Amino acid sequence: MAVTILIGFSAVNTANNLIYVVASLLLGFMLISGIFGRANLHAVRITVEPPPEIYADTPAPIRIRVENPRSLLPAFLIRVNVWDQSPLVPYVPPRSTAQTFVSTAFPRRGRYGLGEVEISSNFPFNFFVRFRRIHLGLDLVVFPRLRPGPFPGAPRRSRPQGHRETVETGDSGDDHDIYGIREYHPGDPIKKIHWKSSAKAGRILVKDFASTRTEPVILIPSHLGPSPLEARLSWTAYWINTLVRRRVSVGLILDGESFEPGTGTHHKRTLLRALALYGED
């Protein structure tokens, strides 16, 4: 732009027609760049999709969708500025969506917000970089960092393996009693290994038996003694993940707030969310 202004002054001072032509061409390029640059960002929509589970101090893949709803014009060189990163989406066809990912690690547990996102582009001639802000209003909750540690159960369940109190209705090695195959976990008996499936999968798999019943476990972070709060919450989050993965019914007592024992992904995330927001309200 400074060069264009300088050439324009030179054309006026020298009355040289060739310099006038060069200055006019440069001004034309600037005008075209401004028009197309603005049109390039117009109507572009951004969606930020975090994964369902994000843990503190752990890189999380954040999906960014760039949607071009226009029927004729494609979008070029769209840069999305989010969380100190600027991934580039080179091309989005009309009525299409492109996606990219950023990997972000949040330093602490708790609630985070992303009110708006900024997009930019130097299309078409790299004369100007145009910016546009898009409102998102995204809220996400970051769970405590997963950290192996002491078992935060009641005193009578202080041993990590204490939850494996089972009652069997017959020989648990009989194939008719199997209701599923799962990954091997440390402590599983060798007799439960399903050798055929393990050989096919290339990893150790064990048999789950319908006759097995597991006693519910109640996790109480305050039973971990004088350890720092964040350490206790991280240990508890680790055991919630571990026990739910083993299909153990898990409950939680957190400063008088009780969560009934349950299983499954939704229940696990409910407990982790309670740990994540503990002390923030």
Of residues 137, 141, 84, 139, the one with CA closest to residue 115: 137
Q: Residue 230: its pLDDT value, please?
A: 96
* Calpha distance 226→228 (Å, rounded): 6
Residue pair 63/49 in contact by the 8 Å Cβ criterion: yes
Q: Nearest-5° angle of CA 228, CA 231, CA 236?
A: 125
Q: Residue 161: its pLDDT value, please?
A: 42
Q: Residue 45: its pLDDT value, please?
A: 97
Per-residue pLDDT of the chain (281 residues; tens, 9 = 90+): 555 555 555 555 565 556 666 667 777 777 787 888 899 999 999 999 999 999 999 999 999 999 999 999 999 999 999 999 999 999 999 999 999 999 999 999 999 999 999 999 999 888 789 999 999 999 999 999 999 999 897 533 434 443 443 333 333 444 444 546 777 776 677 788 888 888 888 888 887 654 454 688 999 999 888 889 999 999 999 999 999 998 889 999 998 899 999 999 999 999 999 999 999 86
Strands 250-254 and 217-219: parallel
Residue type, 244: V
Both tokens of residue 143?
């769970």
* Calpha distance 247→210 (Å, rounded): 12
* Calpha distance 129→63 (Å, rounded): 24
**Residues 189-219: tens digit of each pLDDT:** 778 888 888 888 888 888 765 445 468 899 9
Element (H, E) at 41: helix 17-41
Count of C-beta atoms within a 10 Å radius of residue 142? 24
Residue type, 157: R
Both tokens of residue 171?
């020989």
Q: Residue 127: its pLDDT value, please?
A: 76
Helix, strand or coil for residue 175? helix
| Residue keyed to tokens 């049109």 | 39
CA quadruple 263, 271, 101, 78: dihedral positive or negative? positive
